[in-house]
Amino acid sequence: MAKKQTKKTVAIKFNTDWQYAPAPENKDHIRLEEKYDLFINGKFTPPSSGKYFDTINPATEKKLASVADANEKDVDKAVTSARTAYDKTWSKMPAKERAKYIYRIARIMQERARELSVIETMDGGKAIRESRDVDVPLAAAHFFYYAGWADKIKYAVPGASARALGVAGQIIPWNFPLLMAAWKIAPALAAGNTVVLKPAETTPLTALKLAEIIRDADLPPGVVNIITGAGATGSALVNHPGIDKIAFTGSTNVGKIIQKSIAGTNKKYTLELGGKAANIIFEDAAIDQAVEGVVNGIFFNQGHVCCAGSRLFVQESIAKKVIRKLKDRMETLIVGDPLDKNTDIGAINSKMQLDKINKYLKIGVNEGGEMYQPSCTIPSKGFFCRPTLFTNVAQSSRIVQEEIFGPVLSIQTFRTVEEVIEKANNIPYGLSGGVWTDKGSKIFKVTSALRAGVIWANTYNKFDPTSPFGGYKESGVGREGGLHGLMPYLEVEHN
Chain residues in the site for other proteins (CB under 8 A): 1-3, 6-8, 10, 12-23, 129, 284-290, 292-293, 324, 328, 332, 340-342, 438, 458-459
Question: Which one from 25, 120, 272, 474 is the annotated catalytic residue?
Answer: 272
Count CA atoms within 13 Å of residue 285 on its CB side: 30
Per-position b or e across 452-471, b if 16+ CB within 10 A of its CB: bbbbbbeebbebebeebbbb
CB of 145 to other proteins, least distance (A): 23
Contact 406, 389 (CB under 8 A): no
CB of 106 to other proteins, least distance (A): 25
Catalytic residue list contains 367: no
- Comparing CB distances to other proteins, the nearer of 62 and 320 is 320
In sequence order, the 6+-apart residues with CB closer than 8 A to the CB of 250 are 171, 172, 173, 200, 272, 273
Contact 182, 140 (CB under 8 A): yes
**Within 10 Å of residue 396's Cβ, how many Cβ atoms?**
9
Contact 227, 197 (CB under 8 A): yes
- Say if residue 494 is exposed, middle or buried (CB neighbours under 10 Å; 0-12, 13-18, 19+): exposed
Report the distance separating Cα 40 and Cα 23, nearest Å. Answer: 39
Report the distance separating Cα 135 and Cα 356, nearest Å. Answer: 25
CB of 1 to other proteins, least distance (A): 6
- Comparing CB distances to other proteins, the nearer of 265 and 459 is 459
Report the distance separating Cα 229 and Cα 70, nearest Å. Answer: 5
- Comparing CB distances to other proteins, the nearer of 54 and 288 is 288
CB of 432 to other proteins, least distance (A): 18
Report the distance separating Cα 405 and Cα 422, nearest Å. Answer: 23
CB of 342 to other proteins, least distance (A): 5
**Within 10 Å of residue 95's Cβ, how many Cβ atoms?**
15
Between helix 95-111 and helix 205-216 the angle, nearest 10°, is 120
CB of 222 to other proteins, least distance (A): 42
- Comparing CB distances to other proteins, the nearer of 156 and 334 is 334
Report the distance separating Cα 30 and Cα 25, nearest Å. Answer: 11
- Comparing CB distances to other proteins, the nearer of 93 and 287 is 287
- Comparing CB distances to other proteins, the nearer of 13 and 92 is 13
Question: Which one from 25, 130, 306, 376 is the annotated catalytic residue?
Answer: 306
Report the distance separating Cα 195 and Cα 244, nearest Å. Answer: 10
- CA proximity to 401, closest of 253, 273, 307, 276: 276
Contact 14, 327 (CB under 8 A): no
CB of 141 to other proteins, least distance (A): 18
- Comparing CB distances to other proteins, the nearer of 290 and 400 is 290
Catalytic residue list contains 306: yes
Report the distance separating Cα 199 and Cα 250, nearest Å. Answer: 11
**Within 10 Å of residue 339's Cβ, how many Cβ atoms?**
23
- Comparing CB distances to other proteins, the nearer of 32 and 333 is 333
CB of 330 to other proteins, least distance (A): 12
Residues labelled as active-site residues: 272, 306
